[in-house]
Amino acid sequence: MIAYVTVGADDMVAAERFYSAFLPALGYRLERYHDDLSYILTVAAGERSVLPDFYVKAPFDGGPATAGNGNMVAFEARNQAQVRALHVAALSAGGADEGQPGFRESYGPQFYVGYLRDPQGNKIALFSSDPDERGRDG
């Protein structure tokens, strides 16, 4: 099981604006630890934590943060409408479009996805694959 995912950032203000534009709608709450951002999935009192957490941190080696070629973090939305709404919110919060929400021929008929780059250049996907919604072929 994946416990957490970390992306690097040099500008925490821009990173917080971007990630806080959509992660709370997916159930994450923001915790700050030192100058870094920790997005934790919310659970009811007495329940076991839900994983994975998502961290935005300055690189430990002190060098500049860089986006990995081929790396991507995907967040599951409730439905296609939420994918569209969160994609717009993330763009408005400083993200860059890497692919408008929609179906892709190379994926299954229910996989609806939009792609973004955060202010640091990290690739983010917002997707829904709800079998109760209209699919690519329907």
Domain contains 133: no
pLDDT digits (tens, 9 = 90+) for 20-52: 999 999 999 999 988 899 999 988 889 888 889
Residue 114's identity, in one-letter code, is G
Domain contains 136: no
Q: pLDDT confidence of 72, banded at 50, 70, 90?
A: very high
Domain contains 52: yes
Domain contains 32: yes
Under DSSP, is residue 25 helix (H, G, I), strand (E, B) or coil?
A: helix
Domain contains 67: no
Which CATH number do you get for residue 84?
3.10.180.10
Domain contains 104: yes
Q: How many separate domains does the chain show?
A: 1
Residues 89, 132: Cα–Cα separation, whole Å: 25
Domain contains 46: yes
pTM attached to this predicted model? 0.92
What is the domain extent for residue 111?
Answer: 4-60+72-128
Domain contains 134: no
Q: Any residues with CB less than 8 A from the CB of 98 and at least 6 apart, and which?
A: 115, 116, 117, 123
